Amino acid sequence: MIPLAIANQTVREAMRRRVMWIFLISGLFLIAMGPVFGFLSPKDSQTVLRSLGLAAILLAGLFITIVTCIYLIPVEIERRTIYTVLSKPVQRYQFVLGKFLGGFATVFINIAAMGIVFLVLIYTQEHKVPMDMLLGVVMTFFQMLLLAALSIFFSTFTTPVVNFFLSFGVFMVGNLSSVTDSLASNPNPLVSNAGKIVHYLLPNFGNFNIQNSIIHPTIEIKNQEVFMMQNIIYAIVYSLVLLTLAVLIFDRREV
């Protein structure tokens, strides 16, 4: 209840941020450019439309998630609104959870908006609803869930500027799962251990990158449902880990 009330208020506050709208509109613009680029490109225009759309959702989603989530808690502390909240019967974990849910709902609204525009655009071109594209959007969405948790986690002990680079950096490194996976099986123990640490300890954002496989019709994802479910569970469990850590740190924080 309380986290939901906080989340509700957080979404309203976040949706007012101008920078979020800039990224959302850029994302929508890029998606809308798909058919134009498809027309210009020598490649199959459907492929261009699809890859551009998914890339736009990912990129805009990435920035929206980061710029939204890094500010949620620091702004409350800076404006001292947190005093009025924490002096009410609100547990600190409820506050963190509420902020996370609010940030996440904001991201959801944005990705859903872009996703719907994207799917409708494809529908107008192909006259059918592409299920695999929907899955692509869903995977991006869960990738952003994990990123939101990461940014919230960092925001309990860093400033927004530092957090921006930290979140971005971990997202990048976590995205190189194919590289870290190769490194993990390197014969050099130093390299392989470093690879394993990055691969298993850091949040593995690369798991969610299925754009290539769904864009190219020749590739099939075997046991697609299991794969998706595993990734979704991974995102949720890892987010829980990050949020628990965030709460433990925030519990000690003097506001």
Task: Count CB-CB contacts under 10 A for residue 109.
Answer: 16
Rounded to the nearest whole angstrom, what is the least distance from the CB of residue 208 to another protein in the complex?
A: 9
Stretch that binds another protein, among 110-118, 147-155, 157-165, 181-189 (CB under 8 A): 181-189
The four Cα atoms 19, 94, 2, 14 give a dihedral, to 10 degrees, of 0
Rounded to the nearest whole angstrom, what is the least distance from the CB of residue 84 to another protein in the complex?
A: 6
Q: Under the criterion CB under 8 A, does residue 175 sit at the interface with another protein? A: yes
Rounded to the nearest whole angstrom, what is the least distance from the CB of residue 7 to another protein in the complex?
A: 11
Q: Under the criterion CB under 8 A, does residue 6 sit at the interface with another protein? A: yes
Rounded to the nearest whole angstrom, what is the least distance from the CB of residue 127 to another protein in the complex?
A: 26
Q: What separation, in Å, do the N-terminal and C-terminal C-alpha atoms of the chain show?
A: 23
Q: Under the criterion CB under 8 A, does residue 176 sit at the interface with another protein? A: yes
Q: Under the criterion CB under 8 A, does residue 134 sit at the interface with another protein? A: no
| Residue type at 156 in one-letter notation | T
Among 68, 106, 155, 211, binds another protein (CB under 8 A): 211
Pairwise CA distance, residues 52 & 118, whole Å: 10
Q: Under the criterion CB under 8 A, does residue 216 sit at the interface with another protein? A: yes
Contact present, 150 and 167 (Cβ < 8 Å): yes
Please give the DSSP secondary-structure letter assigned to residue 200: I
Pairwise CA distance, residues 160 & 244, whole Å: 20
Q: Under the criterion CB under 8 A, does residue 188 sit at the interface with another protein? A: no
